[in-house]
Amino acid sequence: GEDVEQSLFLSVREGDSSVINCTYTDSSSTYLYWYKQEPGAGLQLLTYIFSNMDMKQDQRLTVLLNKKDKHLSLRIADTQTGDSAIYFCAESIETGGSYIPTFGRGTSLIVHP
Amino acid sequence: GAGVSQSPRYKVTKRGQDVALRCDPISGHVSLYWYRQALGQGPEFLTYFNYEAQQDKSGLPNDRFSAERPEGSISTLTIQRTEQRDSAMYRCASSAPFAQHFGDGTRLSIL
């Protein structure tokens, strides 16, 4: 099975909150990330959380980490049409001073006006 | 530059040709990573460098793939004798130290 799993699609109405979920398998994960990919563009690092944290908030973004269940979520408040993109969850483990993320397949967020 | 720069943005070549993909990381970033991303998938790790040293190349699919970063800055990913299955988006990222910043990628199409 895959190391990082995400649902493939999420559809929400503009102004609602979006919650994108992710599960991972490696309990020794050090950092967990959310990346955003817009059409024709590279992956943009949205936010990350260190494994000893439960929550991180950054403006409209809230990341929740349940280390016991190996579950990570990204909540986007007041979702806008500009938030439509593919969101990738990733985990990384420290190896020789570097952190190599393992990515999920991405969740396509579709925001309806 | 301000971000990770990759060139070319698009590369179309015939099967059997060699290709070289270039990555110019963010200035001062020690680590540089190469990924391959197929349609509908997340990036798949290929190899990474700390400075000029290749630390891990376990993700390279076979010996037709190689990478170098001779002066610890710009890196080149080379694919020899390309095959159709090599068609994908190839992404480069650099980091300092734990958050990776990606370039826009090179879309490689093998005819």
pLDDT tens string B72-87: 999 999 999 999 999 9
Angle made by CA atoms A55, A61, A63, in degrees to the nearest 5: 25
Chain A residue with the nearest C-alpha to that of B30: A98
Q: Among A90, A98, A105, whose Cβ lies nearest the Cβ of B55?
A: A98
Chain B closest CA to A44's CA: distance in Å? 7
Question: Is the C-alpha dihedral spanning B51, B62, B108, A39 positive or negative?
Answer: negative
A96 CB neighbour count, 10 Å cutoff = 10
Question: Is the C-alpha dihedral spanning B79, B84, B85, B91 positive or negative?
Answer: positive
pLDDT, residue B53, reads 95
- Using a CB–CB cutoff of 8 Å, tell me whether A48 touches chain B: yes
pLDDT at A100 over 90: no
Contact A105 B42 (CB under 8 A): yes
Residue to test with chain B: of A4, A100, A102, most B Cβ within 10 A: A100
Over residues A93-103, mean pLDDT:
80
pLDDT, residue A101, reads 87
pLDDT at A26 over 90: no
Over residues B88-97, mean pLDDT:
90
What percentage of chain A exceeds 90 in pLDDT? 75
Chain A closest CA to B36's CA: distance in Å? 11
pLDDT at A1 over 70: no
Contact A48 B48 (CB under 8 A): no
Contact A98 B97 (CB under 8 A): yes
Chain A residue with the nearest C-alpha to that of B37: A105
Chain A residue with the nearest C-alpha to that of B29: A98
More confident residue, A27 or A8: A8
Contacting residues for B39 by C-beta, under 8 A, at least 6 apart: none
Confidence of residue B27 (pLDDT cuts 50, 70, 90): very high
Over residues B78-101, mean pLDDT:
91
Confidence of residue B1 (pLDDT cuts 50, 70, 90): low
pLDDT, residue B105, reads 95
Q: How far apart are the first and last CA of chain A?
A: 36
- Using a CB–CB cutoff of 8 Å, tell me whether A98 touches chain B: yes
pLDDT, residue A46, reads 93
Contact A33 B42 (CB under 8 A): no
pLDDT, residue A40, reads 79
What percentage of chain B exceeds 70 in pLDDT? 97
Structure tokens at A96: 């020789």
Pairing assessment for the beta strands A98-103 and A85-95 based on DSSP bridges: antiparallel
A28-73, pLDDT tens digit by residue?
878 899 999 998 788 999 999 998 899 999 999 999 999 999 999 9
Angle made by CA atoms B81, B83, B85, in degrees to the nearest 5: 145
